[in-house]
Structure 1
Amino acid sequence: MTAAATCHADARPEAPAADRIARIRERYQKGPAFISVERARYFTESWKETEGRQIPVEVRIALAMKRVYENMNIHLDPDDRIAGNWCEFFLGVPVDIERGVFNAVLESELDKAAMLRFRAGALVKGVSYIARKGMLREFVRNQRMARKAGAQPLNMELKTMAERAINPYQVRPEDKRELLKELLPYWKGRSVVDVIEKELLDSGLLSREMKEFVLSIPGNTSRQVFMLSPCATIAAYHAHMILDYGPALSTGLVARKAEIDRLLATESAPDRRAFLESVSIALEGVLIYATRLADRVERELAAAPDADKPRLAELLRVCRKVPFHAPESFAEAVQTMWTVKTAVETAHPVYLHCFGRLDQELYPFYRVDLERGTITREAAVELLAELLLKVMSQNVRPESNILANFYHRFLGSTPITLGGIKPDGTDAANELTSVFLEAADRSRAVANVSVRVHKDSPAWLLEEVAGHLHDGTGSFSLFSDEKNIEAMVNRGFSEEHARDYAVMGCVETTVPGRTGPMSANALQLSQLLNITLHNGACRMLAGTIRDGLNTGDPGSFKTFDQLLEAFYAQAEAAIKKIVEGSNLRDRVFGRQMPAPLVSAFVDGCLDSGKDVTRGGARYVFAGVSMINSIANLVDSLLVIKKLVFERKLVTLTELVAAADADFAGREDLLREIRAVEGKWGNGDAEGDDLAHEVTKRVFGMTYRHRTEFGGPVVAYVISMITHTIDGRLSMASVDGRRLATPYAASCNPYNVERNGPTAALRSVAALPFEDVMGCAVNMKFHPTAVGETETARKKWAALIRTYFQLGGSQLQPTVVSRETLLAAQADPDRHRDLIVKVGGYSTYFVNLGREIQDEVIARTEHGMS
């Protein structure tokens, strides 16, 4: 019996709404997650049939996904009030084998023997490289220092994906055989990431040293990013966006497809015809999926016990109507959006297509239902709580075992956006905004809820957020409309469109339905300073790579400004390299992997006759995240300025040597470093001014670059989990951060805050957020500081408004005590619903690896006096 066919056997009687939502959440938390092979099977089957024929690639992709929709099993669950899933399992992930990001993970970690072969080969390659480069002594010394410092080794256990403790995945034996023997071998060398990797290595973008390093250290099989240098990476995807659900909600997909077909009938240009044909086929595929989904519900209804028939009959009525035709009720509108999103996510797993401003999209339907008397607030809360849990269920990744200590099951990086202002500048918060806040509290889903706040936002909005935070909802982030709209206008968005912004990925801002995909390229700031302080060489735990510019022996710098100019020169070169690599990747995606279904829901594509991967959207841009981290960079520069150039307590050469040795034998110097006043995070003018000066200069460098399609390159600040991973692989830094320990997350100070939350937020607000289209500011509050009483809620709301008035852009609070976090480490089963913020997203604390848990616990905990 297939997983898709087991629903009726598991049917259970109706239960109170709260019990149903809690049961769904618990099953997602505790139940097994599966690798689904069906998408890979049917996509490959179609791809082989069209191989060698004169069919445009975008049409081949649309035909391949149509084959998937025609044949995939669709899981229907006894707890469903919203129907649809992207695979045959309650919790699973389909394999987008043609993109290939996780292909090497599956090749080497599904099977014990394959894992052993890969690890042995990686070890031989790595040791040979280190020996060949004459770094064996350095490597051994660094590892001894790491062990002495108590750093945990990277997870090199020989445990398959099914055996590991963190983020495990099951795979059925017949599916594993098919993957390992048929599907993965076929796509080796053909997948998009294989092509990108080859073209990068052939492009000359990587230095000889870096190319040799990349080819010789293959320990991590996940290929979500490509390293261009020790401080520069590009993402392996062309994604992160919000679709325009307007056509599905206003006319339905039958009318949308008819519109495309009319355009196709009068189009004569071959390229535009191929594009329109691919979009038409893609929409046909979604309609087939929706028809089969309704058929699945009908079969379940026919076999259901009497107690379950009313629920299934209503679900069938809804699924027979939408998304074919325009919805007329709240439940129909929710089902419409979920069906479209699930179809898109099936076509592009792990691309993080977000819903956008759901309280604006769905409010007209909610208002009409209230006026009709056909819905209650409680019913809407229940439906939206289920929706948030379903969104969470599609934010999973089959990551490599080597990253297991840094990873977790649900990423929480497909946010919804609430509140803010409308395109006409008036307040957008409404009753459904409040319903969504309650639904987030009810669901306790790992799904970011991004709350937009402006100077005239109603008092109830922040006070309700505070109350839910106090009660344990850890998924809220707050965004300043004034600062984020200013930043978007600075990057070329119209004022009207910028006012309609929503949040995607973790914290990046975009205009829903008008903007093309944005990829997560990154500049690692502390490594950039490391390269500067070693005159172009990068010291890492694995050894030294000479990859940067020769900007001069730091010992020869006579002034602090000389050091800064050397750093800026390294930054200019690194950003240029990132943009060139990002554009190369985008060319490959446009050539190899167009996205016709996505293009059907993005403004500009039909008018331009171009796929969204080829610059068809109204707005196109690329991002460079400034990570790992602003705090460590600024504090390091401040230490150098104070101890080297002002007090002349130590030479720069001596300071760098001490950090390279993890301050062994220089504990006196480490004490002096820790005693330096003015570190960023305390509202001190000197540290704040330095932070502003440096980031304004570096963020500003992105304005000089353009994407492959002529759009802006924008800065943003979000570390995800990289601050722990990169920190684990890095030497000590001159701010006193010890070897193999995390950097500060995103826009966080480095746990040096001593003057309370207002001073810490004043420092954060000193950054030039008008140059940034997304940032993450994590702050940990004790529960007594947020929402315990009406007075506490008002006080906390006033703090947020003050922070935004100072120029802050974003805040994501974690409201939990240190004692609770420690208790959760000791007894995970009793704290499964505990949600925390990591680098820019929410997640269940108990699902995190130990190193990230410890980093969250170590963050400064703020109260409110």
Structure 2
Amino acid sequence: MKDVMQQCLALLDDKIKLTPRVKDLREIFFSRDLSVCPERAVLITKSYQETEGQPMVVRRAKALDKILSEMTIYVKDGDLLVGNMASVPRGAPVFPEFAVDWGENELNGDPYFFDKRPGDAYQITEEAKEILLRDVIPYWKGKTHEDRVKSLLPEDTRVACKEVKAIDEDWVMVSGDGHTIPDYQKVIRIGLEGVIAQAQQKLDSLDISDPDDLQKRPFLEAVIIANKAVLKFAARYAAKLKEMAANEKDVQRKAELNEMARICGTVPAEPATTFYEAVQSMFFVNIPVQVESNGHSISFGRVDQYLYPFFKKDIGEGRLTVEKAYEIMCCMWLKVTEFSKLRPWADTVAFVGNPLFQNLTIGGQTFNGQDAVNELSYLALACTKKLSMIQPSLTVRVFNGTPDRFIREAVKVVRKVGSLPAFFNDEVIIPSMLNIGYSYEDAVDYGMVGCVEQAPQGKIGGRFGAGFPNFAKWVELALNGGKDPRSGITCCAQDKDLTTFESFDEVMEAFYAQLRYFLKHHVTAGNVVDLSWGEMTPNPFLSSMIEGCIERGKEIKEGGAKYDFTGGQNVGMISAANALATVKKMVFDEKLLSAQQLKHALDTNFEDQATQPSGEVIRQMLLNADSKFGNDNDEPDRIAADIMRYFSEHEMQYKNTRYGKGPIGGFFIPSTATVSAHVGAGEFVGATADGRKAGEPVTEGTSAYRSTDRKGPTALMNSYSKLPSVLMPGGQLFNLKITPTSVQTEEGLDHWVALIRTLFEKKGMQIQFNIVSAATLHQAQDAPDNYRDLIVRVAGFSSYFVSLCPQVQEDIIARTEHVL
């Protein structure tokens, strides 16, 4: 396969352009606006009206059947793969069973009409508006997942989430689960007919006089219904493709359509026998999971590993060329980017850029610790490099045996695209997974889910994104005796505030008291959401794609999966560390400010200029204090590490709703995958002691706060490497912005590869980059039509810069640009 490897490497050459087919398909993507598609909402409403009184899991399966049987399907000109979630490319289906109040509000312009949003604007026809307002929303009033969550949520938890905003659980109250890797390999290996046979065998083995077995029956019946629905879905495409082929005049396209029809008539019903069949089979799993669940982060896992045997065999037997495999993979990249998810505006701020977080993992190591990089790994890099699409979110796994050549080609892709791929360290991630109960076999075969969450393939049912605990808010509350200055509410009262603490140890204990209080309510809210999901929106098809569910006769939320964890995406943790370290330095250690002076400055948002020193002078003192994470300063770095360690150890003591029901795990795990929630979270936090003004964004992930990492990338990496990342089994997020001129030369690339190697040797878990200048971003703001494919790394995901709302754009611009 040496010659084949050279052909794959050649496709990474900048001189090689996209094929006319792929170029045309890419233009189709950029020619379409995001839009709202009401089809799914209408069909699920009709189905629910027809199945009232039946077991919910069966209703869900029958609803999926109706949707997949009656929704519009299409095949784009020149496409080599089929499958759609909505009636048009970039259309977003509507999921009324989760929530309708926000949709009704936005259809009436509150806070914006869909097409007038300042970010992620969606076109919607007047007919679609009328259908949703007349035929859909009225039926679901009082019957949604959100309604159920509200009825179950304790009042003090509601106040913590909704009023004080010390936790943000909103998005999981109105959306689905997701955050997993379905077992594509199983479907490729045995087909859905094999899955149906497994479920039928388990169903036939039940003793329905046994109450436990009796409860399993509806789920297994639903699995069979759902899988048969997907077979009908594939058959619809086969029929459509045959019809298109019969009417096609172009001989080459006619042959392609006939071959696509044959493939859709074979997979996913039967095992895949070719590379092309295996890729198409994956989409007949991925798309129904999303249509069923309203969950994002339905990721693809280690595609270069499980597709490789088909690639190698087809190449060896002359059925496939490298160029054809590359074209099929380019069509896969474009297909993934075509999907869209409609979110409430309040949640869009945290997920702006229309990300679906469909991660795809390449590289890493084999079970025996050998380098796993192969020809498909390089083809994946080539697809991302040449297409410049934001999906799939490409992950490169690195271990101490990864070739420098592979890392070098990967960073060249980042240089070209601007932010993809991201890099993850096997030497930390695998131990972090072993630490919480994963087997070595499953840990070493991990794929990335969503932003930065590591997971075994086809074996986990728990979600990582439980909500956004706001660490910066907890510092603010601790410094104010537990009272929230914004709302006036006191949730966790304390008898001291900043002006009466006698030592910094008391400050930290007050902060930890707030942390423990709101962590409890974060867990409570997460478990309430899980209970509602289990009752209101079970997912029989997704469950059949997760190991353990059919075997146990249990849906995911009943404890069917082999592994199950629930996570929380920490927001503002580094902001909290910066603020606490600055209080320690300025008030307690060096006594440059009195506690009264600092508190007054914070209370007045540094705007009182009559004091001595004035509010602005105090702010500059705080900003310039050497007390910020990211500068290889042991004091703030230690505080950040202590906070991470304390939170991780306390969070992992809490159980989720599946604990003791069969899965390994069943408890909460921490993550620093903030998406863009750090921007919205900052709106509810007043001025902080690191010099940040009220309402400004807090930190994302474990990245330094914008413009406070002043001693270069080496110092920043040294700070990050001091964090106990092994205690973050839900994933770690670390952003680094590099000026493009630093990496244009071969020497610059050498430094870049060495930087990644050095960080990972120091046990950093993850790193991702923005290779873009502030000047370019300002130009994109001024002339967005000229920068439609400019990609930036927002947090754990990448988006087109011009699609972002202004607040997030400004946050990215303000981040420190480092020179290698």
TM superposition score normalised by structure 2: 0.92
RMSD of aligned alpha carbons: 1.9
- Structure 1 window deviating more from structure 2 (299-308 vs 754-763): it is 299-308
**Are 2:152 and 1:206 aligned?**
no
Q: Distance in 1 between matches of 2:300 and 2:84?
A: 16
**Are 2:713 and 1:757 aligned?**
yes
- Structure 1 window deviating more from structure 2 (164-173 vs 771-780): it is 164-173
The superposition leaves residues 813-836 of structure 1 with CA deviations (integer Å, 9 ceiling, x where unpaired) of 111222222222222222222111
Matches within 5 A, 1:382-393: 382-393=327-338
Q: Distance in 1 between matches of 2:683 and 2:24?
A: 37
Decide whether aligned partners of structure 1 residues 470 and 17 sit closer, same or farther in structure 2, where only a CA change above 3 A counts.
Answer: closer
**Letter of the structure 2 residue corresponding to residue 643 of structure 1:** M
Matches within 5 A, 1:829-840: 829-840=785-796
Equivalent in the alignment of 2:687: 732
Counterpart among 249, 264, 283 of residue 227 in structure 2: 283
**Are 2:123 and 1:177 aligned?**
no
Equivalent in the alignment of 1:626: 570
Decide whether aligned partners of structure 1 residues 206 and 470 sit closer, same or farther in structure 2, where only a CA change above 3 A counts.
Answer: closer
**Letter of the structure 2 residue corresponding to residue 335 of structure 1:** Q
Q: Equivalent residue of 1:594, what SS?
A: coil
**Letter of the structure 2 residue corresponding to residue 615 of structure 1:** G
Q: Distance in 1 between matches of 2:585 and 2:327?
A: 57
Equivalent in the alignment of 1:508: 453
Matches within 5 A, 1:442-457: 442-447=386-391, 448-457=393-402
Q: Equivalent residue of 2:367, what SS?
A: coil
Equivalent in the alignment of 1:799: 755
Q: Distance in 2 between matches of 1:658 and 1:352?
A: 42
Query: Quick one: percent identity of the two aligned structures?
Result: 31
Equivalent in the alignment of 2:202: 263
Q: Distance in 2 between matches of 1:638 and 1:336?
A: 53
**Letter of the structure 1 residue corresponding to residue 574 of structure 2:** A
**Letter of the structure 1 residue corresponding to residue 95 of structure 2:** D
Q: Distance in 2 between matches of 1:61 and 1:650?
A: 61
Equivalent in the alignment of 1:484: 429
Counterpart among 471, 474, 481 of residue 535 in structure 1: 481
Kept after mapping to 1: 8 A contact 2:91/2:340: no
Q: Give the CA deviation at 1:534.
A: 0.8
Q: Distance in 2 between matches of 1:179 and 1:108?
A: 12
Equivalent in the alignment of 2:542: 598
The superposition leaves residues 119-173 of structure 1 with CA deviations (integer Å, 9 ceiling, x where unpaired) of 5xxxxxxxxxxxxxxxxxxxxxxxxxxxxxxxxxxxx5xx521344532223333
Decide whether aligned partners of structure 1 residues 229 and 512 sit closer, same or farther in structure 2, where only a CA change above 3 A counts.
Answer: farther
**Are 2:177 and 1:238 aligned?**
yes
Counterpart among 533, 540, 551 of residue 607 in structure 1: 551
Equivalent in the alignment of 1:652: 595
Decide whether aligned partners of structure 1 residues 28 and 700 sit closer, same or farther in structure 2, where only a CA change above 3 A counts.
Answer: same
Equivalent in the alignment of 2:806: 850
Matches within 5 A, 1:686-765: 686-710=635-659, 711-750=666-705, 751-765=707-721
Decide whether aligned partners of structure 1 residues 522 and 500 sit closer, same or farther in structure 2, where only a CA change above 3 A counts.
Answer: same
Decide whether aligned partners of structure 1 residues 486 and 581 sit closer, same or farther in structure 2, where only a CA change above 3 A counts.
Answer: same
Q: Distance in 2 between matches of 1:339 and 1:295?
A: 15
Counterpart among 616, 634, 646 of residue 667 in structure 1: 616
Equivalent in the alignment of 1:526: 472
Kept after mapping to 2: 8 A contact 1:551/1:566: no
Q: Equivalent residue of 1:709, what SS?
A: coil
Decide whether aligned partners of structure 1 residues 169 and 667 sit closer, same or farther in structure 2, where only a CA change above 3 A counts.
Answer: closer
Kept after mapping to 1: 8 A contact 2:157/2:525: no
- Structure 1 window deviating more from structure 2 (295-304 vs 274-283): it is 295-304
Q: Give the CA deviation at 1:376.
A: 2.5
Kept after mapping to 2: 8 A contact 1:65/1:347: yes
Q: Distance in 2 between matches of 1:181 and 1:717?
A: 41
Q: Give the CA deviation at 1:404.
A: 6.7
Matches within 5 A, 1:754-793: 754-772=710-728, 773-786=730-743, 788-793=744-749
Q: Distance in 1 between matches of 2:369 and 2:360?
A: 20
Q: Distance in 1 between matches of 2:545 and 2:129?
A: 35
Decide whether aligned partners of structure 1 residues 526 and 163 sit closer, same or farther in structure 2, where only a CA change above 3 A counts.
Answer: closer
The superposition leaves residues 259-315 of structure 1 with CA deviations (integer Å, 9 ceiling, x where unpaired) of 221221222221122121111111011111111111121222222222431221221
**Are 2:148 and 1:195 aligned?**
yes
Q: Equivalent residue of 1:183, what SS?
A: helix
TM superposition score normalised by structure 1: 0.87
Q: Give the CA deviation at 1:323.
A: 0.9
Query: Which sections of structure 1, spanning at least 5 residues, go unmatched?
Result: 1-15, 120-155, 212-225
**Letter of the structure 2 residue corresponding to residue 648 of structure 1:** K
> Between Structure 1 and Structure 2, how many residues are aligned?
778
Equivalent in the alignment of 1:84: 83
Equivalent in the alignment of 1:558: 502
Decide whether aligned partners of structure 1 residues 637 and 31 sit closer, same or farther in structure 2, where only a CA change above 3 A counts.
Answer: same
Q: Give the CA deviation at 1:228.
A: 7.6
The superposition leaves residues 164-217 of structure 1 with CA deviations (integer Å, 9 ceiling, x where unpaired) of 4532223333332221012111001101111111211xx34437xx28xxxxxx
Kept after mapping to 1: 8 A contact 2:349/2:677: no
- Structure 1 window deviating more from structure 2 (319-328 vs 405-414): it is 405-414
Kept after mapping to 2: 8 A contact 1:162/1:168: yes
Q: Distance in 2 between matches of 1:841 and 1:251?
A: 33
Q: Distance in 1 between matches of 2:677 and 2:438?
A: 30
Q: Distance in 2 between matches of 1:232 and 1:405?
A: 16
Q: Distance in 2 between matches of 1:37 and 1:292?
A: 20
Q: Give the CA deviation at 1:66.
A: 0.9
Q: Distance in 2 between matches of 1:64 and 1:405?
A: 31
Q: Distance in 2 between matches of 1:677 and 1:606?
A: 56
**Are 2:237 and 1:293 aligned?**
yes
**Letter of the structure 1 residue corresponding to residue 601 of structure 2:** A
Q: Distance in 1 between matches of 2:214 and 2:727?
A: 40
Q: Give the CA deviation at 1:551.
A: 5.1
Kept after mapping to 2: 8 A contact 1:228/1:578: no
Decide whether aligned partners of structure 1 residues 98 and 326 sit closer, same or farther in structure 2, where only a CA change above 3 A counts.
Answer: same
Q: Give the CA deviation at 1:860.
A: 0.8
Q: Equivalent residue of 2:401, what SS?
A: coil
Q: Distance in 2 between matches of 1:850 and 1:521?
A: 23
The superposition leaves residues 798-817 of structure 1 with CA deviations (integer Å, 9 ceiling, x where unpaired) of 11011011121111111122
Counterpart among 759, 766, 770 of residue 810 in structure 1: 766
**Letter of the structure 2 residue corresponding to residue 22 of structure 1:** K
Decide whether aligned partners of structure 1 residues 652 and 377 sit closer, same or farther in structure 2, where only a CA change above 3 A counts.
Answer: farther
Counterpart among 584, 595, 599 of residue 641 in structure 1: 584
Equivalent in the alignment of 2:190: 251
